Amino acid sequence: MIRIIKSATVPVPLATRGSTDRPRLEKKYAADPAACQVPGNKLLEAREGIYKDERVKLQLRIDQHDKCCYCETKGFAATSYEAVEHFRPKGGYQQAASDPLTKPGYYWLAYEWHNLYLACTRCNTDYKGNLFPLRYPAARAHSHADALSMEEPLLPDLATEDPTRHLTFRENAAQALDARGQACIDVFGLDRPALIKQRQDHLCNLHNARIVGAFDLSAPLSTRARKFLRDFGYTLAEGKQVVANAKQQWTEAAFDSAQFASMVRAKFPGKPIN
Ligand SMILES: [Zn+2]
């Protein structure tokens, strides 16, 4: 995970239809708070057509460089459903995975730009779900009348906090620096085996890119350069393109836009980050 710089302009559907619908939810809660706390009730359901509007997703995709906000898998929309993630869950919450769902959730934040991110299905549905652990659960905001500022979430809010203060990587494995980092690993499943394998493959690719990108194919060609072209069957032009691509991949490996940038930054400190 890395810090995410979100657009200062709120996407239109949230600023218009979302702003209009939020008071409806607040009035419903105020009319009968007890009914809204009944397990399984659907009184405060948000209109998903608003927060799932393509314009909201597009802005999140841009701001997050087409990466899942949690696992940093890039281009995940090709193989996974893109979930609009509510950082503070809108429908109900769990302090721990073993707890039942408590209602209502943070219904008043369903359309709030600052509460939305884009996550892959694995991170969103299989792991985080409705989890939102607090350091002091008694301080939790239960309605729009309560102050969020009293809460101390264990999960860092990526738009306002730097997660690397709590979480780093040792090779391909996530390492907690404190309780908040451990909460990230547990809640987002950052050390699930398939993700560790994907990060390992990425590191191997980067090592290769580093080696190939350092190849000198300028004239006169060295014996090593001629062998490189011959071994892979490249023309000189093709070889130069391969080297340029590898050099670019290595140079940009720790950029905000790069896949698994947080792991790469831990592995190669000092690499430029944008
Ligand atoms: Zn993910």
Domains of the chain, residue spans:
12-153, 193-267
Helices (H), 114-161: 121
Residue 42 near residue 2, CB atoms below 8 Å: no
Q: Tell me, what's the pLDDT at 77?
A: 75
Phi, psi of 201 (to 5 degrees): -60, -40
Cα–Cα distance between 67 and 260 in angstroms, integer? Answer: 9
Q: Tell me, what's the pLDDT at 59?
A: 97
How far is ligand 1, taken at its centre, from the CA of residue 70, in Å?
5
How far is ligand 1, taken at its centre, from the CA of residue 85, in Å?
11
Q: Tell me, what's the pLDDT at 78?
A: 72
Residue 17 near residue 46, CB atoms below 8 Å: no
Residue 184 near residue 131, CB atoms below 8 Å: no
Q: Tell me, what's the pLDDT at 160?
A: 96
How far is ligand 1, taken at its centre, from the CA of residue 73, in Å?
6
Cα–Cα distance between 77 and 181 in angstroms, integer? Answer: 26
How far is ligand 1, taken at its centre, from the CA of residue 69, in Å?
7
How far is ligand 1, taken at its centre, from the CA of residue 3, in Å?
15
How far is ligand 1, taken at its centre, from the CA of residue 126, in Å?
10
Which run of H or of E encompasses 209?
A: helix 193-213
Q: Tell me, what's the pLDDT at 76?
A: 79
How far is ligand 1, taken at its centre, from the CA of residue 111, in Å?
21
The token pair at 4 is 């995410």
Q: Tell me, what's the pLDDT at 162?
A: 96
How far is ligand 1, taken at its centre, from the CA of residue 68, in Å?
5
Burial category of 153 from C-beta neighbours within 10 Å (exposed 0-12, middle 13-18, buried 19 and up): middle
Residues contacting 246, CB < 8 A, separation 6+: 208, 209, 210, 211, 212, 213, 215
Residue 45 near residue 91, CB atoms below 8 Å: yes
Pick the closest to residue 167 from 261, 67, 258 (CA basis).
Answer: 261
How far is ligand 1, taken at its centre, from the CA of residue 242, in Å?
30
- The residues that bridge with 32 in the sheet, in sequence order, are none
Model confidence, pTM: 0.93
- The residues that bridge with 74 in the sheet, in sequence order, are 67
Based on its alpha-carbon atoms, the radius of gyration of the chain, rounded to whole angstroms, reads 23
Q: Which long-range contacts (CB under 8 A, 24 or more apart) does 178-185 make?
A: 179/135, 179/154, 180/154, 180/155, 180/156, 183/133, 183/154, 183/155, 184/1, 184/70, 184/155, 184/156
Burial category of 18 from C-beta neighbours within 10 Å (exposed 0-12, middle 13-18, buried 19 and up): buried
Going residue by residue through the chain, which has 274 residues, state the pLDDT in tens, using 9 for 90 and above: 999 999 999 999 999 999 999 999 999 999 999 999 999 999 999 999 999 999 999 999 999 999 999 999 998 777 777 899 999 999 999 999 999 999 999 999 999 999 999 999 999 999 999 999 999 999 999 999 999 999 999 999 999 999 999 999 999 999 999 999 999 999 999 999 999 999 999 999 999 999 999 999 998 999 999 999 999 999 999 999 999 999 999 999 999 999 999 999 999 999 989 8
